[in-house]
Amino acid sequence: NFFAPHEIDEIWITFPDPQPQVSREKKRLTSPRFLEKYKAILKPGGFINLKTDNDGLHAYTTEKITEAGLNLHIKTEDLYHSAYADEVLSIKTYYEKKYLKDNKNINYLKFSFDWRALTQPSPKDRGGKTGIDACMGLLVLSHNVDEGW
């Protein structure tokens, strides 16, 4: 029980393991399973941001956003050659710097839930270990996520 319902202002998922095997889809940090968890802790009007060098994860997440009827605010397959690379989006992680050095494109998505259909999470949805770090209303998910979540 790390977070109260709708406690987090914004979620950043930066360069997660894309879990490319079909059998590991439920472990992808943008799978429907995780999206439901994010909805339970994200404040209405909050955003989810995904930065990845993995084109497959970017395409998968775009598909899941569409299937779930979520609001897609920004989508780019090449962040640093787009109009979106502002001061915040230009902050680079260790892995991002490494990928850019290898001339890999950086994909970026910014999306949100349709809060008109908001439902409260059940107590069981809030239990257990999450493998998440939070600071001042900002949730950041990165490479290592607890297998038990």
The residues assigned a catalytic role are 17
Residue 13 burial (CB count, 10 A) = 23
Q: Which amino acid appears at position 101 of this protein?
A: K
φ/ψ of residue 66, rounded to 5: -65, -50
The C-alpha R_g of the chain, in whole angstroms, comes to: 15
Query: How big is the chain, counted in residues?
Result: 149
Asked if residue 34 lies in contact with residue 99, where contact means CB atoms within 8 angstroms, the answer is no
Which H or E run includes 32? helix 32-41
